[in-house]
Amino acid sequence: MYTSQPPTSSIRRSPAISATRESTVNIPGKNRVWVHGFRSNLRSQTRRVRGSTIRAVVSKEESKSSTVTVEDTTAIDGVGGMMDLKATITIKKQMKEKVIEKIEDQWESFVIGIGRGVLIQLISEKIDPVTKSGKYAESSPRGWLPSASSHPHVLEFTSNIAVPANFGRPGAVLVTNLLRREFYLVDIVIHGVNQDPVIFPAKTWIHSQQSNPDSRIIFKNQAYLPSQTPPGLKDLRREDLRSIRGNGKGERKPHDRIYDYATYNDLGRPDKSPDLARPVLGVPETPYPRRCRTGRPPTKSDPNSESRIEKPHPVYVPRDETFEEIKQNTFSAGKLKALLHNLLPSIAAKLSDTDISFECFSEIDKLYNDGVFLKEAEHNQFLVNFTNQVMNVGKRFLKYDTPAIMRRDRFAWLRDDEFARQTLAGVNPVNIELLKEFPILSKLDASTYGPVESALAKEVIAEELHGMSVEEAIREKRLFIIDYHDMLLPFIEKMNELPGRKAYASRTILFYNRANVLRPIAIELSLPPTPSSSSSSNKRVFRPGHDATAHWLWNLAKAHVCSNDAGIHQLVNHWLRTHACMEPYIIATHRQLSSMHPVFKLLHPHMRYTLEINALARQSLINGGGIIEACFSPGKFAMELSSAAYKSSWRFDLEALPADLIRRGMAVEDPTTPHGVKLVIEDYPYASDGLLIWSAIKELVESIVYHYYPGSDSITSDVELQTWWSEIINMGHHDKRNESWWPKLDTKESLIGVLTTIIWIASGQHAAINFGQYPFGGYVPNRPTLMRKLIPEEGPEYDHFLMNPQFTFLSSLPTQLQATKVMAVQDTLSTHSPDEEYLGQVHHLSNHWLHDGEVWGFFERFGAKMEEIEGIINSRNKDVRLKNRNGAGIPPYELLLPTSGPGVTGRGVPNSVSI
What are 482-525's pLDDT values in tens digits? 999 999 999 999 999 999 999 999 999 999 999 999 999 999 99
pLDDT at residue 850 in the model: 67
Q: 772, 895 in Cβ contact below 8 A?
A: yes
Residue 3 pLDDT exceeds 80: no
Q: 87, 158 in Cβ contact below 8 A?
A: yes
Q: What is the pLDDT of residues 403-439, one digit of tens each?
A: 999 999 999 999 999 999 999 999 999 999 999 999 9
Residue 448 pLDDT exceeds 90: yes
Q: How many helices (H) and strands (E) does the chain have?
A: 29, 28
**Lowest-confidence pick of 122-126, 304-308, 396-400, 541-545:** 396-400
Residue 856 pLDDT exceeds 80: yes
- Measured CA to CA in angstroms, residue 110 lies from 1, 103, 373, 808 at distances of 12, 11, 54, 71
The stretch 815-830 carries a mean pLDDT of 88
Confidence category of residue 10, pLDDT binned at 50, 70, 90: very low
pLDDT at residue 11 in the model: 31
The single-letter DSSP state of residue 740 is: T
What positions carry a catalytic annotation?
A: 574, 579, 766, 770, 915
Residue 593 pLDDT exceeds 60: yes
More confident residue, 651 or 311: 651
The stretch 790-813 carries a mean pLDDT of 96
pTM of the complete model: 0.88
In whole angstroms, what is the distance from residue 288 CA to residue 644 CA?
A: 9
N-terminal to C-terminal alpha carbon distance within the chain: 37
Q: 777, 785 in Cβ contact below 8 A?
A: yes
Beta-ladder partners of 483: 507
pLDDT at residue 101 in the model: 52
Residue 345 pLDDT exceeds 80: no
Q: At 361, phi and psi to the nearest 5?
A: -65, -25
Confidence category of residue 617, pLDDT binned at 50, 70, 90: very high
In whole angstroms, what is the distance from residue 861 CA to residue 865 CA?
A: 6
DSSP 262-281: E-B--S--TTT-GGG--PPB
Q: 522, 435 in Cβ contact below 8 A?
A: no
In whole angstroms, what is the distance from residue 561 CA to residue 700 CA?
A: 39
Average pLDDT along the chain: 84
Q: 280, 286 in Cβ contact below 8 A?
A: yes
pLDDT at residue 103 in the model: 47
Q: What share of the chain is helix, strand, coil (3-state, %, to 5)?
A: 40, 15, 45
- Measured CA to CA in angstroms, residue 52 lies from 73, 505, 741 at distances of 7, 78, 59
Q: 814, 780 in Cβ contact below 8 A?
A: yes
Spatial CA neighbour of 458 closest among 469, 466, 450: 469
Residue 399 pLDDT exceeds 80: no
pLDDT at residue 15 in the model: 34
